[in-house]
Amino acid sequence: MGLLTVSVVAALAAVAFMLVVPATKVRPAPVPMLRGVLANLKNPGVLVSVCQAFLLMGAFVSAYNYLTFRLQQAPFYLSLAEVSLIFLAYLAGAVASKQVWKLAPRLTPTGALLASIGVMLVGVALTLLPSLIAVVGGLILLTGGFFGAHTIASTLGPRRSQVAQSMVPPLYNLGFYSGSSLLGWVGGLAFAAAGWPGTVGFIAVMGLFAATLAYGYALRNGGLRAVDG
């Protein structure tokens, strides 16, 4: 019934999209798809954006995948129905996706991205505490931080592209879902080897790697104020 519900809602969303979204009025330049993909893969700015999708989505999915197991163990012993309520923390993502752009003019887009990753890391660290309130609060911070970073990174990719900008969102989505599938699985290996602290360590490494790539790209292009300005 769960799968059926998801399928029906997805079908309704597709129909609503076709009915509501207006047709494209701007004709794109006729750049061959393969040429456009290769050109963007050679663009360091686009690659950094795609890496953000891969690393941060992998970290985010790992958190939700394996925190559920931790909450069913000591000292929490939550039921499966109670554990499922943690997905309400996704609502924080809807707020963060909008609010992060209020920070971007002051912090710069890359600065807002780095701040969002910082919020993710603080959030996942809080989930180590043996307190349900701390775990839930940490998950909310992690979720808000992720969606803030995702919103910035997905926007910067096309802005940095010099040719075939329409190819950048598919590349970003490829990184996004590859991270979900591959790193979401690797996070489970960390959980099997060292429990929830192992998964937290894995998430922290992915977040720090993503932040290093973003900051390094900014430094090579004139700093936070100059890049993407």
How much is the pLDDT for 10?
A: 96
As a whole number of Å, the end-to-end CA separation of the chain is 48
Does residue 17 register a pLDDT over 90? yes
C-alpha 67/C-alpha 73 separation (Å) is 10
Least confident of 26-35, 79-88, 139-148, 153-162: 26-35
- Residue 35's pLDDT is 86
* Inside any domain, residue 213: yes
d(CA 186, CA 203): 10
pLDDT digits (tens, 9 = 90+) for 121-177: 999 999 999 999 999 999 999 999 999 999 999 999 999 998 888 889 999 999 999
pTM check: above 0.75:
yes
Report if residue 123 sits inside a domain. Answer: yes
CB 89 within 8 A of CB 71: no
20 in any annotated domain = no
CA distance 2 to 52: 31
Q: Is residue 160 part of a domain?
A: yes
CB distance 152 to 217 below 8 Å: no
The residue range of the domain holding 193 is 44-220
**Percent of the chain, pLDDT > 70?**
97
Q: How confident is the model at residue 27 (pLDDT cuts 50, 70, 90)?
A: low
Structural domain includes residue 55? yes
Give the mean model confidence (pLDDT) for residues 22-37.
Answer: 75
Q: What does the pLDDT look like over 183-218, one tens digit per residue?
A: 999 999 999 999 999 999 999 999 999 999 999 999
160 contacts 228 by C-beta, under 8 angstroms? yes
| Average pLDDT score over residue span 90-105 | 88
pLDDT at 39 over 80: yes
CATH number for the domain harbouring residue 199: 1.20.1250.20
Mean pLDDT of the chain: 93
Q: Is residue 16 one of the residues assigned to a domain?
A: no
Note whether residue 226 is domain-resident: no
Domain count, the chain: 1
pLDDT of residue 12: 97
Burial, 114: exposed, middle or buried (Cβ in 10 Å; 0-12, 13-18, 19+)? Answer: buried
The amino acid at 32: P
- Residue 212: the pLDDT is 97
What's the distance, CA 214 to chain centroid?
Answer: 14
Asked, for residue 130, whether it belongs to a domain, the answer is: yes
